[in-house]
Amino acid sequence: MGLTDLDLSAARKIPRLNAAVLGESLATEDDNVILPSDQFSSRAHVSSYLQYLEMYQRSIEDPAGFWSDIASSEFFWKKKWDQQVYSENLDVRKGEIKIEWFKGGITNICYNCLDRNIEAGLGTKVALYWEGNEPGFDGTLTYNELLHKVCQLANFLKDNGVRKGDAVVIYMPMLMELPIAMLACARIGAIHSVVFAGFSSESLAQRIIDCKPKVVITCNAVKRGSKVIHLKDIVDAALTESAENAVSVATCLTYENESALKRESTKWKEGRDIWWQDVVPKYPTTCTVEWVDAEYPLFLLYTSGSTGKPKGVLHTTGGYMVYTATTFKYAFDYKPSDVYWCTADCGWITGHSYVTYGPLLNGASVVVFEGAPNYPDPGRCWEIVDKYKVSIFYTAPTLVRSLMREGNEYVTRYSRKSLRVLGSVGEPINPSAWRWFFNVVGESRCPISDTWWQTETGGFMITPLPGAWAQKPGSATFPFFGVQPVLVDEKGNEIEGECSGYLCLKSSWPSAFRTLYNDHERYETTYFKPFPGYYFTGDGCTRDKDGYYWLTGRVDDVINVSGHRIGTAEVESALVSHPQCAEAAVVGIEHEVKGQGIYAFVTIVDSVPYSEELRKSLILMVRNQIGAFAAPDKIHWAPGLPKTRSGKIMRRILRKIASKQLDELGDTSTLADPGVIDQLIELADR
């Protein structure tokens, strides 16, 4: 449903509800909305709902004009795009799904992040503030210095056979060298694939085998909190596995992170492994830009799928560049004086769009944090905020809930006076956590940009614009420019007004992903066949009487744990690879801190007894194959699983048992063995 005059009249009614005002009062449980203050709104990029509506309506009625005006005025193009700004087909009934923006336009995203800003006089401005795991370890890079380091690495990559179109896998912690590596790839037209440095060697090997990189970039180890993680050992195991699958990588560039591990303690393979510090600084600090078409691939990012095989989401250059920069500017009301900190890792889409590309395209100063947010104590975030005078702070509801549990004193001992805008990402934020974030962290004076988007969308889809309209705790509010959300029923019929349904998007936007790497059929089947004519997000959503959108979570077999999307099939596959596991079914349950937790029903082979040792062994199997973040929170022993006569597992029933909603099991008459339910209930607390 587009935003109509009806929506505007509804929005005008909002102030009559119970309301708090930015900077004037705390938000209580009785407050339906938080109103922007006149002072904040008067300085905002979008200062009213009416201004938003005018811009939004133009973006829907004339997307070509709206986006080409932004693209041509705020970015450098070596050559302007073709006459047709965009072309799209989102309907599988009309042929192949295809989305293109600014095709024919020639540009480079690294040039726009660095060279363009330096030419505009920002060379001596700090681009990156780096905060190490241990307090007191830090560093800075200006835009000039960042460009020099990017060029040195780009020259190294070229010297080692990386050409336009080649893939480079990056498996690193949050050092400054991670965004440097991303930008270096983009500069020479190489396609980067960043893999979160919490994934296991098997998960890393899967991704290496799929994209066949010329080079893998890693570091020897990282300290996260008090724990040392030996990343190079994980990479070594992954490269061995990939070589066994006929994918050999000639070069493994390794950064020595000496605060975590000395080089003499690092395992080494001569002829393949190269120390970053020994070679990269010797290269020239200038590197020719590889100009590419707007539709040229920029990066691959693998995301969990419900089939168990990770999906290689492919984003291209021009539309992604324009959209991430524009969403960053408006959703955070970014000003040149701001210092911005996003706590996300570059191994996830948030780190691509809103640690590296979006902020740097706007010439921002960005904080990059290597460590754990509760180390050495739960006040570390606010110590960093005060140290760098952070004005925009963007984090996940998981962290908000975790810090909320630790108590207010860890927050209030720090000033936080620099904070101006807060943000939330990764999953819906519950209203109580929203209010704590607003009242305690932001002292009731900072609006919260509670953003909804996905790896696949590349940038924010539904988000507040600070200062433009009233916020409702827990609601992502309204769509960003050019985004047309619709709610549909199970038959794909659009539902109007106040309702709940499946969230779909009609028409494309510039940063939409273009395909799944080497699997366009799966791209179409997963995202466009469920509701022909629409992009299906996989999320459920409610729209209230005022037109506000409330995300209710995944409706498919993907669990959102601390903002990490984990396919249930991936976890099940890891569990059944255990020699004593006969069958497994995984569901998501509510978790106080992580949003969702992983609950695994496990059937073990005959004659093997249930034991604590076996439980730990099963969890370890998942940790080793996928990563610690995918470890089940609960193993529920299951003599059998509830299945229909055709053999389909009834996950609906498992979800009810896991969440102890035993009076809501519903119809069980179609089960092949209804008696299995009583057995599962009996074993629930073992």
Rounded to whole angstroms, how far apart are CA atoms 456 and 188?
24
Strands 215-219 and 365-369: unpaired
Our separate counts of H helices and E strands in the chain read: 23, 33
Number of C-alpha atoms within 13 angstroms, CB side, residue 364? 28
Signed CA dihedral, 381, 386, 388, 393: sign only: positive
Task: Between 398 and 632, name the one with better pLDDT.
Answer: 632
State residue 669's pLDDT score: 62
State residue 321's pLDDT score: 98
**Given phi > 0 = left and psi -120 to 50 = alpha, else beta, which region is 383?**
alpha
Asked whether the predicted pLDDT for residue 13 surpasses 60, the reply is: no
Rounded to whole angstroms, how far apart are CA atoms 257 and 315?
30
Phi, psi of 215 (to 5 degrees): -140, 145
DSSP 8-class letter at 118: I
Rounded to whole angstroms, how far apart are CA atoms 391 and 339?
5
Q: What is the mean pLDDT of the chain?
A: 92
Asked whether the predicted pLDDT for residue 480 surpasses 70, the reply is: yes
Look up tokens 């100063």; give the residue: 365
Least confident span in 13-22, 25-34, 76-85, 373-382: 13-22
**Mean per-residue pLDDT, 64-90:** 97
Signed CA dihedral, 651, 657, 661, 667: sign only: positive
State residue 605's pLDDT score: 83
In 555-662, DSSP assigns E strands to 558-561, 564-567, 581-591, 595-604, 634-637
State residue 1's pLDDT score: 38
State residue 666's pLDDT score: 74
Q: To the nearest 5 percent, what fractions of the chain are helix, strand and coil?
A: 35, 25, 40
Name the burial class of residue 529, with classes exposed (0-12), middle (13-18) and buried (19+) by CB atoms within 10 angstroms of its CB: middle
DSSP 8-class letter at 121: I
Q: What contacts 415, CB < 8 A, 6 or more positions away?
A: 386
DSSP 8-class letter at 234: H
Find out whether 328 and 113 touch, Cβ atoms under 8 Å.
no
**Mean per-residue pLDDT, 122-127:** 98
Phi, psi of 217 (to 5 degrees): -110, 130
Find out whether 186 and 110 touch, Cβ atoms under 8 Å.
yes
Q: Of 233, 556, 633, 673, which is the active-site residue? A: 556
**Mean per-residue pLDDT, 225-237:** 95
pLDDT in tens, 445-463: 999 999 999 999 999 999 9
pLDDT band at 5 (very low <50, low <70, confident <90, very high): very low
pLDDT in tens, 415-434: 999 999 999 998 778 788 89
Q: Minimal CA–CA distance to 463: which of 519, 493, 433, 424?
A: 424
Asked whether the predicted pLDDT for residue 16 surpasses 50, the reply is: no
The amino acid at 303: T
State residue 426's pLDDT score: 83
pLDDT band at 18 (very low <50, low <70, confident <90, very high): low
Look up tokens 């690294």; give the residue: 110
Most confident of 153-167, 601-615, 628-642: 153-167
Rounded to whole angstroms, how far apart are CA atoms 2 and 497?
11
pLDDT in tens, 26-51: 766 666 789 999 999 999 999 999 99
Asked whether the predicted pLDDT for residue 15 surpasses 90, the reply is: no
Task: Between 232 and 27, name the one with better pLDDT.
Answer: 232
Residue ranges of domains in the chain, CATH in brackets: 100-260+275-543 (3.40.50.12780), 562-683 (3.30.300.30)
Find out whether 315 and 298 touch, Cβ atoms under 8 Å.
yes
State residue 245's pLDDT score: 97
CA 301 to mean position of chain CA atoms: 10
State residue 574's pLDDT score: 87
Q: Directed axis angle between helix 63-74 and helix 318-331, to 10°?
A: 90
State residue 29's pLDDT score: 62
Q: Catalytic residue at 557?
A: no
Signed CA dihedral, 234, 236, 240, 243: sign only: positive
State residue 9's pLDDT score: 37
Least confident span in 209-218, 280-289, 386-395, 561-570: 561-570
Asked whether the predicted pLDDT for residue 252 surpasses 90, the reply is: yes
Asked whether the predicted pLDDT for residue 178 surpasses 90, the reply is: yes
pLDDT in tens, 313-359: 999 999 999 999 999 999 999 999 999 999 999 999 999 999 999 99
State residue 406's pLDDT score: 86
